[in-house]
Amino acid sequence: MMVAEKVDKGFLIMEDLKDPQRPQGPLKELNKNAICPLHIAKLVMTKLAIFHAVWLSWLKNQDPPIIAGLNKGQLIETLNYYLGKKSDVKIWKGIFTGFEKQLTILERPPELIQALKAYWKNGFYENFVSCFPQSSKYVTLIHGDAWINNFFVNNDETEITFVDFQLMQTSHPARDFWYFLYASTDSEWRKNHLETCFETYYETFSKYFTQANISMTYGDFKKEFNSKRGFGVSMGFMVIPIMLNDNPELNFSEIKGIRNMRKFFKETFAKPMDENEAENIKEMNRRLLDLIEESHELGLLVPK
């Protein structure tokens, strides 16, 4: 997806960020299967805050009035994203069906299992759509796919570059914030470092308040972003099995792959992991089980 005045035929020339001869120096990828290091997360938060704030300022002021040949209305229309229907999320039902069985085998509290079942019926989709413009007080342009695999860093890991903007859209800025945290960290990490992420993001975001004609104390900011945390929970269930998956037969590019994915969800998570299971599958199960227990503890499995 690209912002363009009209459809043209031509060449799209892309930069090789890992080229050793790159004038600014080569960049490197991060390990998508690993928990994101804190110093990288702080770079991400700063970069997201700048991205969100600059676009929020432009949407408020339209200065300049035209970008890439498009005014505000045309730009928003160009980046319009399919909201989705509740029936569209049925592919993930297997995750919940599987974990209900696994939690039973593991003798987890019955109230946890019931909460998970209720969340699938009345909470999962509702949280998924909670950051879309019609449900948001603050709306800006977001990256849309902000997880560790879409970042490159320089060799000394002091600068970060985002790639893969095909899901760029209008949304609440908390969408990128929670998407990143639930796709690239786990509950222990969030427990230890969430406040640092809030502080890092707000420190940069607040510098644009006058330009964007908004005002939020740090407390107001945390309250606003925490009100959208349920989005991160839903995205965790959706993206963790995709991001930690390396099986080419489990993909969303064809109907067969989707069917295989649904079967995989239902069968894989219905029992505790075997010691001989692949490491990425065990990590996938660990993070999802971790997500369920954290969300229940925080009261996020209860529909708002």
Q: Is residue 1 part of a domain?
A: no
Q: Is residue 129 part of a domain?
A: yes
**What's the pTM?**
0.93
Residue-number span of the structural domain to which 142 is assigned:
34-76+85-297
Q: Is residue 68 part of a domain?
A: yes
Q: What is the pLDDT of residues 25-46, one digit of tens each?
A: 999 999 988 999 999 999 999 9
pLDDT exceeds cutoff 90 at 87: no
In which element (H, E) is residue 219 found? Answer: helix 218-226
Cβ proximity of 75 and 2 under 8 Å: no
Cβ proximity of 233 and 182 under 8 Å: yes
Pick from 151, 145, 125: which is nearest to 234 by CA? 125
Q: What is the pLDDT of residues 122-159, one digit of tens each?
A: 899 999 999 999 889 999 999 999 999 999 999 999 99
Order across the sheet with 151-153: list the strands: 28-29, 151-153, 160-162
Q: Encoding tokens for residue 11?
A: 């060449």
Q: Is residue 230 part of a domain?
A: yes
By residue count, the chain amounts to 304
Q: Is residue 26 part of a domain?
A: no
Q: Is residue 29 part of a domain?
A: no
Q: How many Å apart are CA 133 and CA 125, to the nearest integer?
A: 15
Q: Is residue 9 part of a domain?
A: no
Q: What is the pLDDT of residues 214-256, one digit of tens each?
A: 999 999 999 999 999 999 999 999 999 988 988 887 777 677 8
Pick from 55, 56, 53: which is nearest to 45 by CA? 53
Q: What is the pLDDT of residue 1?
A: 43
Query: Which CATH number fits the domain that encloses residue 186?
Result: 3.90.1200
Q: Is residue 224 part of a domain?
A: yes
Q: How many domains does the chain have?
A: 1
